[in-house]
Structure 1
Amino acid sequence: MNEFLNGACHCGCVRFSVKLLDGFNSIRRCTCSYCRMRGGTPVSARAEELTILTGAEVLKLYRFNTGVAEHYFCSNCGIYTHHRRRSNSALFGVNVACLEGVSPFDFPDIPVVDGVNHPNDTGTTRVVGHLRFVPE
């Protein structure tokens, strides 16, 4: 996947363009307290390949714990659009649900990584389970 994709928050105030690092192969969920509650399903992109087209002024930033990761969300509709990764600040995690024509339900199996025991603290990325969607 070498093309740029368009994305937006729910209300459309925040619009962006992104080129994914490895297509949808980097899709994942995380067990850290924030990701558990937020429920986002991110894919990876290089920081320089995500461009906010409109709505930068309504994006809000949230940091917790170490304060390294930067989680962005629309202050109007509350939707998480992307975050700068703690494990690699040159990368963003982009909410796949915000990408045009894409849904987390398009992926039958999503690896879940151990965010409680973060790779920066343990030196290893560990898959601890899988989130599955089986349509009826």
Structure 2
Amino acid sequence: MILDGQCHCGTVRFTVRLTDGLNTARRCSCSLCAKRGAVAVSAPLDGVTIHQGADKLSTYRFNTGVAEHHFCSVCGIYTHHKRRSDPDQYGVNLACLEGQTPFLPEVEVLDGQAHPSDGNAARLAGVLRFTEGARDG
């Protein structure tokens, strides 16, 4: 599955070749991802091509410094990141991809607080569910 993507302001534009379509959609419970709240899909490192705005991408690293979180320095939107759990993959912000929505019926949330790269078993922290039209009473 090949899709075009961009940040909110359109400064950063890219094409992504997804590993397995939307089947890899997930969130993470680590401190950064919990605040960011994005749903990411997987792409190989050679599956992301930046066509415009590479000079406007900023990178944030924390903790071990292995994961590289990229975002537009103009609008601040996270576009993609090199994964700590698999440094041969990018996680790509599903909301940045043309014709896609992060509001999937279910999205697995992986336990990023007890990270597999720290010797912990990979584990599911929970599942996010989106129910269209649901409202609080």
- Whether 1:88 aligns to 2:59 is no
Task: For residue 21 of structure 1, give the secondary structure of its aligned residue in structure 2.
Answer: coil
Instruction: Tell me how far 1:101 sits from its aligned partner.
Output: 0.8
Instruction: Tell me how far 1:49 sits from its aligned partner.
Output: 1.0
In structure 2, the residue matched to 1:66 is 64
Q: Describe how 1:36-55 pairs up with structure 2 within 5 A.
A: 36-55=34-53
**In 2, distance between residues paired with 1:47 and 1:111?**
22
**In 2, distance between residues paired with 1:110 and 1:89?**
22
In structure 2, the residue matched to 1:17 is 15
Give the AA of the match of 2:43: A
Q: Which runs of 5+ in 2 are unaligned?
A: none
Superposition misfits of 4+ residues, deviation over 6 angstroms: none
Q: Is the 8 A contact 2:85 2:116 kept in 1?
A: yes
Instruction: Tell me how far 1:123 sits from its aligned partner.
Output: 4.3
**In 1, distance between residues paired with 2:125 and 2:35?**
17
Task: For residue 18 of structure 1, give the secondary structure of its aligned residue in structure 2.
Answer: strand
Identity %: 57
Instruction: Tell me how far 1:87 sits from its aligned partner.
Output: 1.0
Q: Which runs of 5+ in 1 are unaligned?
A: none
**Superposition TM-score, scaled by structure 1 size:** 0.95
In structure 2, the residue matched to 1:118 is 115
**Superposition TM-score, scaled by structure 2 size:** 0.95
Q: CA RMSD in A?
A: 0.8
Instruction: Tell me how far 1:125 sits from its aligned partner.
Output: 1.5
Instruction: Tell me how far 1:124 sits from its aligned partner.
Output: 2.4
**In 1, distance between residues paired with 2:97 and 2:107?**
17
Give the AA of the match of 2:121: T
Count of residue correspondences: 133
Task: For residue 45 of structure 2, give the secondary structure of its aligned residue in structure 1.
Answer: strand
Give the AA of the match of 1:122: G
**In 1, distance between residues paired with 2:42 and 2:122?**
15
**In 1, distance between residues paired with 2:42 and 2:120?**
19
In structure 2, the residue matched to 1:127 is 124
Q: Is the 8 A contact 2:114 2:120 kept in 1?
A: no
Instruction: Tell me how far 1:119 sits from its aligned partner.
Output: 1.0
